[in-house]
């Protein structure tokens, strides 16, 4: 499975309190997201405000997309949501 991540800004999803970002899995777009809780607990987001979440995502983008890539491999390229609990056990 070939997985890559376009270099674009994440999108804030208020109803889910998460940031969404795309992955390309074998040339098809797959939605990935990371919760505000995960960004606060593991990536130093100061709050769940959009600006704080995006800042934490940008600073820690490499670690976040690596985790998304691992999870995409585990679920066969289906959409993934990175919750705080995932980061407690992924290392």
CATH number at residue 24: 3.30.160.140
* pLDDT above 90 (res 91): no
Tokens 């098809």, located at residue: 28
Put simply, whether the predicted model's pTM sits higher than 0.75 gets the answer yes
Mean pLDDT of 17-40: 97
C-alpha gyration radius of the chain: 12
* pLDDT at residue 90, as a whole number: 73
Mean pLDDT of 50-69: 97
Domain with 64 in it: 3-89
Degrees, nearest 5: CA angle 26-32-36: 165
* pLDDT above 80 (res 70): yes
* Distance (Å) of CA 66 to CA 15, 41, 46: 25, 17, 22
The count of domains in the chain is: 1
């Amino acid at each position: 499975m070939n997985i890559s991540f376009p270099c674009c800004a994440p999108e804030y999803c208020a109803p889910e309190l998460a940031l969404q970002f795309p992955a390309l899995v074998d040339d098809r777009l797959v939605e990935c997201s990371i919760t505000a809780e995960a960004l606060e607990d593991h990536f130093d987001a100061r709050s769940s405000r959009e600006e704080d979440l995006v800042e934490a995502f940008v600073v820690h983008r490499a670690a976040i997309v690596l985790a998304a890539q691992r999870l995409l491999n585990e679920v066969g390229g289906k959409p993934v949501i990175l919750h705080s609990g995932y980061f407690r056990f992924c290392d």
